[in-house]
Amino acid sequence: MTNSKPVVPLRGVFLSKFDMRRGNVVEWSVDCSPFASLEFKSMPSGIHDVTDDSISFVAKDNTEGKYYLGVAFYKQNGFDIMADGKQLDRSKVHMYSLGVILDVEYDSERGTKQGPFTEYGHYYINKLESLLNAWFTANDVKNTDSFKDFYESHARDKDITTLELGVESQIPMIHYLYHWIKRLGPLIFTLWKSCLLNERILILNPSGDRIGTVNALCYCLSLISQSCKLGSKTKSPLLLYTIGTADLENMKSILQAKRGRGYIACTSDELLPYKHEIYDKVLRVNSIWIDDEEDELNCDVVDESKKLKILDNKGKQIRATPYELELYELMLNTVLREGITNLDRFKYQLLVEPVSWYQYLVDTAYFFGTVGYVQPFFHITADNVCLPDTSVDVDDFNANADVLLAKSVQGYFYDKTAHIYNTLQSIIATQSVDPAIGDGVVILPQEMKELTLDCFSAQDYEFIAEIGKKWFDKEIVVNGGADYLKLAC
């Protein structure tokens, strides 16, 4: 099926190679001399573990001092040689990456519209894959005419208005939202809150995991944290996609910015998580996932570095709240149309912080006071929480399940962000000023429920304080203590 779309032209094209003696090098390029470290951008650490992969990145034009968006497709033949039962001759192993720089300037203050980039980046990745596969088949490494012809037909000095979208082998990024929601579990809410706070989020890519898949996670996080039109202070973090050690200097002004705009980026470089000054949160997705009962019994002896977790830049682990686990289970049932097994619940429970003593006491009081018939109001049911509309035609759903599910989840997070913004704005407008905190606002634990946040979690107390300061320039304090007792009434 083929259709036409407006086109974003190219600023440059290049071919990177892994050389046994020289390491990563740019073997051939056109109009790419101002861009540094393209050989590392297009062949990041760990990519040799896969046969092929797609990479998205941001590259700096050292002449103009501006940033541009780029994509590349990587391929190697080492695994094919081994699959044929032949002894691996390293001199015959070829590792190449064909990349392009899109003519899309990346404003480090305002960012860029990510929708067009992912659409055209996806188009170019499919084209690069086709070109590189044909080049490998031809087995003439000196002949780059096909790359040059492609670039000249898409260069920015050409009068191009449309491009033809043919058969696509690469999956669009939005299709991976389902994959990552299942894999991250309730931590998707923890990351969403970090995005709303405009924090610098670094994702450590596991060895052997496709970089294109983790690039899609970066995109999906950016997508669900977009704040629509809630005000100038609700900007989303910058979307940097793949970064490495070469960017520590080239992108220093972005990575080490302590205030203002955050970012979302992924890396396969194990060194970067030790550079605490460049991030606020690091998501380690190089986890050992529990797949059966035997793994469940042995999960405590798994190397901590291989477990799925979020850490701050001081090494403290950040977990999801108990409320978010309940919300996640409801999302599985109503949005993803799936049940949750006991093993899944056990896996996700490992990602959640313990229930506080206050909540435990209130839960216990309700249990004995109502003989287990009534739950406290702060627990989630389908009747007391807003969920996106998933009422779609069955045939349409079966044909476009990934996209429809992704849009439902995206709509949910849009609505949740807007709800927090509007509810907090209303609370601030109606609250009387507390002299003890100047012109600040005191929120009761039960009002956290109105904000669709955990009534007991110190993490959510801190989040609402930070988001109140960011969005409304107000100091917000959640008053606990004796007010917890009101939750039991």
Q: Which two tokens stand for residue 280?
A: 């606020």
Q: At how many degrees (to 10) do helices 322-334 and 342-349 cross?
A: 140
Structure pTM?
0.87
At 293 the pLDDT is 45
At 54 the pLDDT is 95
Per DSSP, the three-state class of 95 is strand
Is residue 169 in some structural domain? no
Residues 344-357: tens digit of each pLDDT: 888 898 999 997 76
Q: Which of 138, 156, 174 is the last residue of a domain?
A: 156
At 166 the pLDDT is 45
Which residues of the chain have a pLDDT value below 50? Answer: 1-5, 110, 112, 114, 116, 161-169, 287-288, 290-297, 301, 391-397, 399, 482, 485, 489
Domain total in the chain: 2
At 165 the pLDDT is 44
Is residue 185 in some structural domain? no
User: Average per-residue pLDDT in the chain?
Assistant: 79
Burial of 87 (0-12, 13-18, 19+ CB in 10 A): exposed
Is residue 331 in some structural domain? no
Percent of the chain with pLDDT over 90: 36
Is residue 25 in some structural domain? yes
Is residue 278 in some structural domain? no
**Residue among 208, 226, 231, 306 at smallest CA distance from 264:** 226
Is residue 365 in some structural domain? yes
Burial of 285 (0-12, 13-18, 19+ CB in 10 A): buried
What residue numbers bound the domain in which 377 lies? 355-486
Is residue 400 in some structural domain? yes
